[in-house]
Structure 1
Amino acid sequence: MKPTLPIAAALLALSACSTNPVTGKKEVMLVSKGQELAMGQQSDPAVTAQFGLYPDQKLQNFINEKGKAMGAISHRSDLTYTFRVVDSPVINAFAVPGGYVYFTRGIMAHFNNEAQFAGVLGHEIGHVTARHSAKQQTNAIIGQVGLMGAMIASPRLAQFGEQAAQGMQLLFLKFGRDDESQSDELGVEYSSKIGYDASQMADFFQTLQREQAKSSAEAIPDFLSTHPNPADRYNRVHQLATQWKQQNGNPTNLKINREQYLRLIDGIVYGEDPRQGFVENNAFYHPELKFRFPVPAGWKHQNTPQQFQMADPAGKALMMLALAPGASLDEAAQALVKQFSLQPTDSRRVTVNNFPALAFVADQVQQDPQTGQSVAGIRTMVYLIQDGKTIYALLGASAPTDFPSYQPTFSSTMEGFARLTEADKLNRQPEHVRIKTLKLRSTLSQALKSNGVPEARLEEMAILNGMQLNEQVNAGSMIKVVGK
């Protein structure tokens, strides 16, 4: 007789207890250390491919040096930690199992001293040492035991935009409030142990809150979306930092290192990098690859080094552009058909604004769970467009019933692919953080204006500096501004 599913889950849990490295307590853990390490090793190439590494060796050396020092005093000093700054403008930091920690250039630009950076670094290492990601995986496994046999995988539109899904799913694990609180405590402990004033981490949370308020009509900063930020978090982290100091003899030599940090990030790219492609006036432009194509009005879009994605606001269709494998249009078509399990219904040679191309419609076939028969799950339109040795794949996808209404949008977008020739688009450059040393004492507002910041961007620059516009800044102090 086999145990029932709930009993099986309980037996599985009882047989997989381990000791948490941070708390020393026994806990259910179905993910072994070896599996944790493997998850990180498998995820890292996907993460770096998705975002790209930020090409600044001094920044990469900085995060690696501080990260290694912190890992060595952590509760899991035996791990081989890996630290990277990735080339994304979003304000985010995240860790995956096995000791892989990532900071975006966007969050690096918003820190105003080394101590703020160190506090967040300790927080992320805390997720690794307390095995929060592994615990999330364990909870998912236990939850799935009762569903096995009833679940039937079905293709989704999103799969076309998730070539790195194996690694990406680990980035968006939502940690509970208890896990976040524990990581805040560890952030204070770890950053203090390597000599930094942990109260600065609390000040950075204020910067994030202000950024959220400024962007209330838009998406909130990713660091807040994946890291719950209750109203009392600022006060609690200050309390934790004070308690640590009291318990360790109130050291007076804890570092902040504002000027050193500002010099380090002088010149960092700020915001979107147009050299990697940008959207303007309902069109996507890529200055480096010298092409353009229209973006449907109202469609959401996301650009990464791997691909450019567009999604209908109703969630019923998406399009993407990516590089296609193969040395010819036919090879590229065969590769895509195999990758997405497509069955082409027609194919034709076309020319798109002087580029040779291959266009086809194809169904992704799945099995109907009720009848066992094959049915079309997703219908796609694909244009493969060749520019010299490079082949671009433009793919649109929707449910078969919705396809006729989206087909004209797919066609007009793909047939709008053209050579980019406008000089102002080809020469578009990113903004950079510039560090200015003030000659006179003034308010931050006056200092920003005297350094060419327009009225409309004063609050944005105040948040970037972690200060208020009416705050006094002394002669000789440094501030951030943004320029080409």
Structure 2
Amino acid sequence: MKTPLRFHWIFLFIGTIFLPSCSRNPVTGKREIILMSTDQEIALGQQSHPSIVASMGLYEDKKLQSFITEKGMAMAKISHRPDLPYQFNIIDSPVVNAFAVPGGYVYFTRGIMAHFNNEAEFAGVLGHEIGHVTARHSARQQTSQILGTVGLIAGMAISPKFAQFGEQAMQGLQMLMLSYSRAHESESDKIGVEYSSKVGYDAHQMANFFGTIKRISDNAGQSIPNIMSTHPDPGDRFNNVHAMAKDWQDKNAGNYAVNRDSYLQMINGIIYGEDPKQGFVENNVFYHPELRFQFPVPAEWQTQNSPAQVVLAPKDGKSGILFNVAESKTLDSAAQNVVKQYNFKVLESTKKTIHGNPAIVMISQQIQQQQQGQAQQPQTPANTVQVGTWLIQYNGLIYAIHGLSTADVFASLYPTFKNTAENFRSLSDPDKLNRKPERILVKSAPRNGTFKEIMNTLGMPDKRLEELGVVNSMKADTPIQKGMLLKVIGK
């Protein structure tokens, strides 16, 4: 049976993907289709690194940086891809996270470093992240998405009936991509056990850290269904990694290190939680001591702060305020750049003074751009983004505050946006300017007792007992021996 001519391009395209791009995965040994070369992986990592550093910032601690570089390079040497130009960095973020990008770039937040309780926990997560790189998960994910989309296009072109369900099929593809991601996470857990064990660490500690992750997740009230998560359930990972660690150690007898005290002594003094110098919220006001400004935060709105920008949003997510620095030297050029960058159609523009600072205020709508090959969607108030922009010149910089929502509700939200933007002002309160961050302080237990009793003896309040339990990976009734090192939180 002949293939209709109009479908030749689809199969030709699929053929050009399959023929030249089949390679052997360095971890699994299986031949698979990869659309990203090693050189492209390295180039992607090199391109991503500056933006990661700019948006999140690096945590300056020479001792910790030396530690992760030494351990990272040792593990890279025994990995399946020892020749990549690996780099290991600590990100200045309180979030408990670690991640990797192609080409050998691996990142740990100071938040996760503060939550590790020994070197073996760190080594397990280090092996997991290197595993993402060596197993080429980013490249494989990209390939799966491209081939899956091509398959959908082919199916919709060949079968008009299939085309009727294109949207549902695309949703199915997205769910499949989540399962690929969970599969990759599980594969990296296995690699993490292998790599951390090969360099001499007890991989059971990696499993224990998933217990910490589960407590953090449970305390945050996260209830996302497992099928909708890109990561496997941490409780399942706790059990699976323990089983893999036991299997490895049964087959490879030896002494596997934990190194608890040396690790705790190394992180003594690490910043814990938000660093006030980068900005903090107190009593519905955002303060930035280094840049010496403040502005109000709408009541019950959530705040996400990073070195690059501050995002404020209500829980319903239907509006928001974006605060950042405009890369311009004058207000007029800043306004021109904002209009060009965000594809705005300006409805109103006025110049004014806000608490002694020159400013431009604009109200704009974002012009919808037609997607190639798609019919132009009629623009209505319900699907049009409307933005109030305040550009304020202060202390040699120009700050941009954007309040955004859909056009149909913009008028009702404008007073909220205006209240935040037009109460931007200088910060002079010494208490806010000199606010110190909380830190992890390592103390010796002064006596025997339960974890709760010892925390009380060390001056920690009961309201922070669960938080301290998570940080120490202990329960309130965990028995503590005199002289045991523990983390407390102080300044």
Q: TM-score over 0.5 for the alignment?
A: yes
What is the alpha-carbon root mean square deviation over aligned residues? 2.6
State the identity as a percent. 50
1:246 is matched with which residue: 226, 243, 250?
250
The answer (yes or no) to whether the contact 1:202–1:238 under 8 Å persists in 2 is yes
Q: Please tell me whether the aligned partners of residues 367 and 373 of structure 1 are also in contact (alpha carbons under 8 angstroms).
A: no
- Label 1:106 to 1:226 Cα distance change in 2 as closer, same or farther (>3 A): farther
Kindly report which structure 2 residues correspond to 1:100-249, keeping only aligned pairs within 5 A, or say none: 100-145=105-150, 176-216=181-221, 226-229=230-233, 231-248=235-252
Mapped partners of 1:230, 1:439: distance in 2: 34
Aligned length: 458
* 1:131 positional shift: 1.0
Equivalent residues of 2:323, 2:399 under 8 A apart: yes
Gaps of 5+ in 1: 150-171
8 A Cα contact 2:210 2:235, kept in partner: no
SS of 2:368's partner is strand
Cα 1:174–1:125 shift into 2, 3 Å: farther
Identify which of 15, 35, 38 aligns with 2:43: 38
Matched with 1:64 is 69
Partner of 2:174: none
Deviations 1:64-83 (A, max 9, x none): 11111111100011111111
User: Which residue identity is paired with 1:271?
Assistant: G
Tell whether the 8 Å contact from 2:445 to 2:485 is kept in structure 1 after alignment.
yes
Matches within 5 A, 1:290-439: 290-367=292-369, 370=375, 377-439=384-446
Evaluate the alpha carbon distance shift between residue 260 and residue 173 of structure 1 in structure 2; reply closer, same or farther with a 3 A threshold: farther
Q: TM-score, normalised by structure 2?
A: 0.87
Deviation, structure 1 residue 296 = 1.7
CA separation of 1:397 and 1:289: change in aligned 2, threshold 3 A: same
Cα distance change on mapping 1:381 and 1:204 into 2, 3 Å: same
Deviation at 1:53, TM superposition (A): 0.5
User: Is residue 361–residue 390 contact of structure 2 (8 Å, CA) maintained in 1?
Assistant: yes
| CA gap 1:229/1:130 in 2 versus in 1, 3 angstroms | same
The 1:37/1:90 distance shift into structure 2, 3 A limit, reads same
Shift of 1:12: 4.3
Question: Aligned pair in 2 of structure 1 residues 308, 173: CA closer, same or farther (>3 Å)?
Answer: farther
State the alpha-carbon separation in 2 of the partners of residues 471 and 388 from structure 1: 52
Cα 1:148–1:276, aligned 2, differ >3 Å: closer, same or farther?
farther
1:11 equivalent in structure 2: 15
Contact 2:178 2:229 in 1 (8 A): no
Partner-residue secondary structure (3-state), 1:231: helix
* SS of equivalent residue, structure 2 residue 32: strand
Q: Using a 3 Å threshold, how does the CA distance of structure 1 residues 374 and 237 change in structure 2: closer, same or farther?
A: closer
- Once residues 302 and 479 of structure 1 are traced to their aligned partners in structure 2, the CA distance between those partners, rounded to angstroms, is 30
Deviation of 1:234 (Å): 1.9
Number of the residue aligned with 1:54:
59
Structure 1 counterpart of 2:79, from 74, 77, 90: 74
1:280 deviates by: 2.1
Give, in angstroms, the shift of residue 11 of structure 1. Answer: 2.1
CA-CA distance at 1:39 after TM superposition: 1.8
1:28 is aligned to 2:30: no
- Kindly indicate whether the alpha-carbon contact (under 8 Å) linking 1:347 and 1:359 is maintained by their aligned counterparts in 2: yes
What is the rounded CA distance, in whole Å, between the counterparts of 2:234 and 2:306 in structure 1? 31
Change (3 A) 1:219 1:88: farther
Relative to structure 1, the CA distance from residue 175 to residue 341 in structure 2 (aligned partners, 3 Å threshold; closer, same or farther) is same
Q: Shift in Å at residue 439 of structure 1? A: 3.1
TM-score (norm 1): 0.88
Cα distance in structure 2, aligned partners of 1:212 and 1:304: 21
- Worse-superposed segment, 366-375 or 313-322: 366-375
Decide whether aligned partners of structure 1 residues 390 and 173 sit closer, same or farther in structure 2, where only a CA change above 3 A counts.
farther
Please state how far the C-alpha of 1:6 moved relative to its aligned partner.
5.7
Q: Which residue identity does 2:146 align to in structure 1?
A: I
Unaligned runs of 5+ in 2: 155-176
| Higher deviation after alignment, 332-341 or 77-86 | 332-341
Deviates more, 1:3-12 or 1:306-315: 3-12
Cross-structure match for 2:165: none
Write out per-residue CA displacement over residues 242-270 of structure 1, whole angstroms, 9 at most, x where no aligned residue: 2222222x112x21111110011000011
1:145 Cα deviation after fit: 2.9
State which drifts further: 259-268 or 172-181: 172-181
1:402 is paired with a residue whose SS is helix
Please give the alpha-carbon distance, in whole angstroms, between the structure 1 residues aligned to 2:267 and 2:349.
51
Tell me the residue number matched to 2:171.
none
Moved more, 343-352 or 17-26: 343-352
- Give 3-state SS (helix, strand or coil) of 1:310's partner: strand
Higher helix share: 2
Tell me the CA shift for residue 362 of structure 1: 2.2
Contact 2:96 2:112 in 1 (8 A): yes
Q: Secondary structure at the match of 2:213?
A: helix
Post-superposition offset of 1:123: 0.7
The residue type paired with residue 435 of structure 2 is R
Report the 3-state secondary structure (helix = DSSP H, G, I; strand = E; otherwise coil) of the residue aligned with 1:55.
coil
